[in-house]
Every structure is written in structure tokens, then in C-alpha cells.
Chain A
Amino acid sequence: MKTTLSNTFAGTFGKLTRHAAAAFALAAFAAAGTNNDASPLAGTAFAKDVEILNVSYDPTRELYVEYNAAFSKYWKQKTGDNVRVRQSHGGSGKQARAVIDGLRADVVTLALANDVSAIAEKARLLPKDWQTRLPLGSSPYTSTIVFLVRAGNPKNIRDWDDLTKPGVSVITPNPKTSGGAQWNYLAAWQFAREKFGGEDKAKAFVAKLYKNVPVLDSGARGSTTTFVQRGIGDIFISWENEAFLAQREFGKDKFDIVYPSISILAQPTVAVVDKNVKRNKTKDVATAYLEYLYSDEGQDIAGKNFYRPTNPKFIKKYEAQFKQLNLFTIDDKFGGWAKAFADHFADGGTFDQIYVK
């Protein structure tokens, strides 16, 4: 009696489960399949439709929307092929990690050279000397770090040492989770090193600065919200392009931009991911895509979207927008990203030291 009962039960129930499972599995595959069927493998044979995936970081969306349209037009004229550029945006470090773990990016356009190097080192998807393959260390456009203060600059903030004064509240994201915040940290460090002399003095200065930081948001956008919408802090250390965006978004009369006496030349870097373009058969179009960033049209689009062009002609064109600044590079003052990262942001680096005694 018992066996028959359990058999019937198992039979009916089992059948149901199997049907259901099969249906779900099919649905999942079909969905994945549809995503896939426009892939280069299917396309290149006759239709000459090409797709590439550009894995980028957060604030570049508008830049690449405009640039992708321009590049498609250019590529169509040159080769007759239709190219569709798919975009992925996210925190720079997180995006690099996705590529390392198998996100099949044809090109990466990230915030720091260090993130691209990580892809070269951890996953060997591109050679270690990737930075030499394109002009200017593979950074077609640059940016820098500026101060965003409340309208009229009530606390009279002029330079980095004003940020350590008592009663000044500073907003900057956590350099452990935000690539942009690492530029901020290093710029402050270099200022102190020049003004007071020596690494110890610089560390003491930076420690004092971070005592004035009431909130360490995990990303640049979170910090912007804290400063702009929550009304916390007197000064926000920001990417130049983000400061412009904040002014545009929330009103020019609400915030002023202050340029410190010295700042860092932030160099977002771009690279073709060799192993992925080989697998996707997209090497030519991916390479052309990055090279076109250095063309007149590419430089113009960068300038329009608040990134500093590198071509002298367009530096001149956007002269009024971007103030001339005393800028240093990370290679000159910190011995490159790998070293700067190990000294300051790795576990037990200077940033950890200023919080844990």
C-alpha cells in the first residue's frame, strides 16, 4: 500500500517538476540566445554588422553616447560596415573586476591606468605594455581635481591648506572604494609634500584633512548627493567634469568652482582587450574605435562633455572652459599607479594608518 502511494505521488509530482524545469531552462536559454544572435559570429558572415562592447566607468555615459554615434558614422563611411557599440558603465574598479572574471569587453575605457593594468596582470587578457600602444600613455582626454564650494564661497576656501582648518567640513568619497577619491588623496598629499616638505609632514596633513571629513561615501556620485542635496560640508573635492555637471544639473548660482594652486592630472585610460577581440573577431574595429578618440571629432566631443582635450588645437578651442592649472602627473611624483596604490591604498597603506593608530 505504502509503496503504491508514494509511487503515484512521486510519479505525478516528478512529471510536473520535470515539465516545469524543462520549460524554465528553455526560457532561460532562449532569452540568452536572443541576446546573442546579433553577435559578431552570426553577423560578419554576410550582413557586415559588427558589435563591440565598451566597458567604461560611471561619468562617461554622455561622452560615449555622442562619440559612439559619431564613430558609427565614420566607420560606415570608411568600410561600409554597420557598427553598434554596446556600453557598460559602473565603478571603475568594479568594471575592471568584471572583465577579469570574464565580461567580454572589446575595449575598456576606465578611470585609472591601474584598473587596466589589473586586467593585464590578473587575467593576462592584454600585454603588460598596453599603455605604450596608443599615444600619450593611452589617455586621449584628461581631467583634474577641483573644489566645489557653496555660492559666494562663505568659508573662503582658496587652496588645499584651507581644508584642514578647524570648522571646515570636507566631502570626499572613500579612496578604498572610489577611484576618483584616490586622485583627491594624492593631490592633497603632493600639495603638502611641496609646501611642508617630507612624507611624514604630508601624512600628518592628510590625516588632519580627513579629520574634517564627516562622511565617506562609497562613490563619487554618493558624495555629490551628500554635498548638494543633503547640504552637508563646506567643500566637495570633485572631478572637474563632475563639478561642471553638478553646476549644470543643480544650477550655476548654487555652487562655485575653486581651482587650487596645484592639482593632479587625472588620466582616464583606454585599451583594446586583445584576447577578447581575438575571440570576437573585432580587432580592427576595436582598434579604430580607440584611435578615433584622438581625431579632431573625438577631441571635440570630449571637450564638449567637460573632459580636457589633449590635441593642442582643441585645448585652444576650449581654453575658456578649462582654466590653466599647475598640474602634476602620477608618474612624475608618485612613481606610477602601481607604487602609489601599494603605498597609500592597499591594506595597511597610509590611508589605513591615518584611521587606525
Chain B
Amino acid sequence: MAFKLKQKSVLPGFNLSFGITIFYASLIVLIPLAAVFLRASGLSFSEFVAAAFSERVLASYKVTFLTAFAGAATNAFFGLILAWVLTRYRFPGHRVADALVDLPFALPTAVAGISLTAIYSKNGWVGEWLDKAFGLQVAYSELGIYVALTFIGLPFVVRTLQPVIEELEPEMEEAATTLGASRWQTLYKVVFPQLLPALLTGFSLAFSRALGEYGSVVFISGNMPMRTEITPLLIITKLHQYQYKEATAVAAVMLVASFILLLIINLLQRWAERRTK
């Protein structure tokens, strides 16, 4: 079957690697997620709509997707700079800075949420200043969610870009310089296109991770219904009330939405790759 599926290649190992991939993916991801969908399918259509598209749930989709997108976009921008600086430049404390990037993964999300709230609330280190200088309230508002989601997404972008920057061939840049391109032109026309696929990957990972984040957000968002209540919180709420079917219905909607988004990004990425080749 695999032979019809793929185009001819002289490289070995397709059956083995493809086999492992499919087997492992089915065992760890597909079968458990199928259980979620089947549980949700126990609802009638109108029950499903009532659970997954009520006014309050719709409001939560809006705030969740918007803040996740903003957080991922911020990370794509600063993450690109950070990855470039960490890979290409050497400065005092360079290794420490590199080490710090992984912190969002290592800190339990609850701790991250509590610390961020401490820093960005009105009596916190940064929050006090932001409040006085700009009248900005970060903790217990949409901004707080955005801060938490930016925090948890950063390593995705940086760590996806770093190995690609590491492997960039200096000859390309040298050639561009020799041909009279300014440094800026080289960066923009030669380097950036090569980084674009990885940047898109990093963005999509940060974005999808942000969509599902719960632990850190509940501490900083304030959880006000219709305003700062995120979808994962609503899922938990339904689980707490033993409404597994309704909870899985909302989860299924989130899942399908993010699957489609990821698919679009992956297609974009392949397109970007083809263009550079």
C-alpha cells in the first residue's frame, strides 16, 4: 500500500519509518482522541449546538482565539529576533539568556500564572508602573491572558528557528554581499525566505499551544463570564459538573478549528518551501 502511496525514491527506510510513525501516532493520539469524539457524538444535534455554540461559549471562543493569535504573533516577531541574536551573536550572559528561553516549559503552568499575576497586578513590580504611567490594567483583563499566552509560547518559536539559523550556509550571504546587496537586503531577500517555513511552524505551534492553555490563564484572567472567560475553563467547568458529553462537544469544536488552522499553516509552509527552492 505504501508503495502506491508514495512516489519513487531510492532512499531506504520508508516502510519502517512510515510504519513507526503511523503506529505510534494512532496509539498515542488517534485512539484517545477518537474516544473524545465518540463521547461527544452521544449528543443529539440540538444538544450539541446548545453545548458548543451558546452565547457564553461563543464569547469564550472569541477571546481565546484573539488572545492566542496576538500572543503567537508577538512571539513570532520577538522570537525571530531572539533566535537570531542567540545563534549569531556572542555577548556576556549569552548562555544564560539561551537557557532562560526554556523556562516557560519547565515552570508548572500554575506557577507561571501565579508569578505573572504577582508581577502584573496593580501592586506588582510591573503592573504598578503600567497602571500609574498608562492607566493600563494587565492582570484580570484580556491583556493578562495575552501576557500569559505570550509567556508560554515563546520557546516554540525560538527553538524551532535556532537549528535552522545554525544550519544556514554562510556562502549564500557572502554571495549576496559580493553581488552588491546591502546587509539589510541580504537579510530580507536571502535569509528571511529561508527562515520563513520554520517561523511559520513556530508560530503555529505557539498559537495552537495557546488555544489549549488553562493552568496559567485562570490565575491572571479574572475569569469573568462573557469577557475574560477562556474556552478551556468552560470545558473544565462542564467536566466538574459531570457533563462529559457537553465538555467533549466544546473540546471537539476547538479541536476541529485548530486542526483546520494548523492544516492551513502547514500548506502555507510547504508553499513557502517550494518558493525558496
Min Cβ gap A186→B in Å is 16
Are A222 and B218 in contact, with the CB atoms below 8 A? yes
Find out whether the CB atom of B140 lies under 8 angstroms from the CB atom of A214: yes
- Decide if A177 touches B240 in the complex (CB within 8 Å): yes
Query: Shortest Cβ distance from A129 into chain B, in angstroms?
Result: 20
Residues of A within 8 A of B114 (CB): 225
Which residues 20-66 of B sit at the A interface, judged by CB distance below 8 A?
20, 51, 54-56
Query: Counting CB contacts under 8 A, is A248 at the interface?
Result: no
CB contacts (< 8 Å) of B51 on chain A: these are 347
Quick check: B242 and A214 within 8 Å, CB to CB?
no
**Residues B105-158 near A (CB distance < 8 A):** 114, 117-118, 121-124, 139-140
Please state if A14 and B241 are interface contacts (CB–CB under 8 Å). no
CB-defined contacts of B239 to chain A, threshold 8 Å: 97
In contact, B118 and A93 (Cβ under 8 angstroms): no
- Nearest CB in chain B: distance from A171 CB, A: 11
B237–A177 touching, CB < 8 Å = yes
Given contacts A217-B218, A347-B241, is CB(A230)–CB(B123) below 8 Å? yes
Contacts of A214 in B (CB 8 A): 140, 222, 224
Q: B266: CB under 8 A from chain A?
A: no
Q: Which of B56, B118, B238 contacts A229 (CB 8 A)?
A: B118
Are B236 and A177 neighbours in the complex by a CB distance under 8 Å? Answer: yes
A10 touching B240 by the CB < 8 A rule? no
> Does B118 contact A122, Cβ atoms closer than 8 Å?
no
**A347–B246 CB distance below 8 A:** yes
With both chains docked as a complex, state the minimum distance between the C-beta of B27 and any C-beta of chain A, in angstroms: 12
A93: B residues at CB distance < 8 A = 240-241
A356 touches B55 (CB 8 A): yes
Binary contact track A222-233/B, C-beta < 8 Å → 1, others 0: 100100011110
Cα separation A290 to B226 with both chains bound (whole Å): 43
Cβ contacts under 8 Å, A225 to chain B = 114, 117
Interface string of B64-101 (1 = CB under 8 A from A): 00000000000000000000000000000000000000
Q: Which residues of A contact B258 (CB under 8 A)?
A: none
Q: Is the CB of B140 within 8 A of A356?
A: no
Within 8 A of B (CB), among A324-357: 345-347, 352, 355-356
A14 and B16 contacting across the interface, CB-CB below 8 Å: yes
Q: Is A217 within 8 A of B20, CB to CB?
A: no
Is A118 close to B, CB under 8 A? Answer: yes
A94 to B238 CA separation, bound complex (whole angstroms): 11
In the bound complex, do residue A9 and residue B16 qualify as a contact, i.e. CB atoms below 8 Å apart? yes
Verify A347–B240 contact, CB threshold 8 A.
no
Bound complex: CA A230 to CA B139 (Å): 10
Q: How far is the CB of B227 from chain A (nearest CB, A)?
A: 10
A109-136 residues with Cβ-Cβ distance < 8 A to B are 118, 122
Inter-chain contacts of A31 with B (CB < 8 A): none
A174 within 8 A of partner (CB): yes
Interface residue from A17, A97, A352, A355 paired with B240 (Cβ < 8 Å): A97
In the complex the two chains form, what is the Cα distance from A165 to B171 in whole Å?
72
Q: Is A13 interfacial (CB-CB < 8 Å)?
A: yes
* Known interface pairs A176-B240, A229-B118; A355-B56 also in contact (CB < 8 Å): yes
**Contact with B12, one of A6, A122, A230 (Cβ below 8 angstroms):** A6
0/1 string, A205-229, CB within 8 A of B gives 1: 0000000001111100010010001
A346 near B122: Cβ-Cβ < 8 Å: no
Considering only residues 199-248 of chain B, those with a C-beta below 8 Å from chain A are: 218-219, 222-226, 233, 236-243, 246
In the docked arrangement, what's the CA distance between A345 and B237, Å? 10
Q: How far is the CB of A58 from chain B (nearest CB, A)?
A: 13
| B14 neighbours in A (Cβ, 8 Å) | 6
CB < 8 Å neighbour of A10 from B10, B13, B124, B238: B13
Contact with B15, one of A6, A91, A230, A231 (Cβ below 8 angstroms):
A6
**CB-based nearest A residue for B140:** A215
Closest to B114 in A: A225
The answer to whether A17 and B20 have CB atoms under 8 Å apart is: yes
Residues of A within 8 A of B20 (CB): 17
* A174 / chain B contacts, CB cutoff of 8 Å: 223, 237
Q: How far apart sit A14 and B12, CA to CA, in the bound complex (Å)?
A: 13
Given contacts A97-B239, A231-B123, A352-B56, are A218 and B233 in contact (CB under 8 A)? yes
* B236:A215 contact, CB within 8 angstroms: no
B225 neighbours in A (Cβ, 8 Å): 216, 355-356
Contact of B219 among A97, A118, A222, A355 (CB under 8 A): A222
Docked complex Cα distance between A94 and B226 (Å): 24
Report Cα–Cα, A218/B223, bound state, in Å.
Answer: 8
Contact A5 B12 (CB under 8 A): yes
Chain A 1-45 interface mask (CB, 8 Å, partner B; 1/0) = 010011001100110010000000000000000000000000000
A-B contact pairs, 30 of them (CB 8 A): A2-B10, A5-B12, A6-B13, A10-B12, A13-B16, A14-B16, A17-B20, A118-B242, A177-B233, A177-B236, A177-B237, A177-B240, A214-B222, A215-B140, A216-B224, A218-B236, A225-B117, A230-B117, A230-B118, A230-B121, A230-B123, A231-B122, A232-B121, A232-B122, A347-B243, A352-B56, A355-B56, A356-B54, A356-B225, A356-B226
Top 7 A-B residue pairs of the complex, sorted by shortest distance between their CB atoms: A6-B12, A355-B225, A215-B222, A176-B237, A93-B240, A5-B12, A216-B223
